[in-house]
Amino acid sequence: MAERELIEASTEVDASPASVWEVVADLRRMGERSPQCKKMFILRGPVSEGTVTVNLNNRGPLWWPTTSKVTRFERERVLAFHVPINGTTWTYELEPTATGTRLTESRRVKAPGKAISNFLINRFMGGVPAFEAELQRGIEDTLARIKAEAERAPTTA
């Protein structure tokens, strides 16, 4: 059973929302940023609302595929995708600040979560509390990588 409906973190990025968006919206490169999602394959065309992806995830010796569908795509503001197999929605929110962009990443799941997902997490991934703590660290790591990349990029107005 999912214990935390919401797992999230934020970071301040010294880059414009346009520069941060260029990094966030490049889902093909998710594997360079996420500790767990190693690859996202985009099906048909550029990323937009309705885009479907096939994802390859990894944790230690475990590998598993998922699919997702982009449910929100508001340029320089919000990118969200839903993963049906586990009932989660992952969201990136960008907010302009005086010095750049506040970037928030979140994972939402309606409690209690999908039974199959909970079973697999409990059986193979050390249980829900440990897995959710790992997701929290993963979100923080992903944000740090996005921040570093956006701050290195040429400025986009």
- What pLDDT digit, counting tens, does each position of 5-25 carry? 999 999 999 999 999 999 999
Confidence class for position 145, pLDDT limits 50, 70, 90:
very high
Q: Which domains does the chain have, with CATH numbers?
A: 6-152 (3.30.530.20)
Q: In this structure, what are the phi and psi dihedrals at residue 58, rounded to the nearest 5 degrees? A: -145, 140
Give 119's contacts (C-beta < 8 A, 6+ positions apart): none
Q: What is the pTM for the complete model shown?
A: 0.90
CA-atom Rg of the chain in angstroms: 15
Residue 111 φ/ψ region, left for φ over 0, alpha for ψ in the -120 to 50 degree band, beta for the rest: beta
pLDDT at residue 112 greater than cutoff 70: no
Mean pLDDT for 26-52 is 95
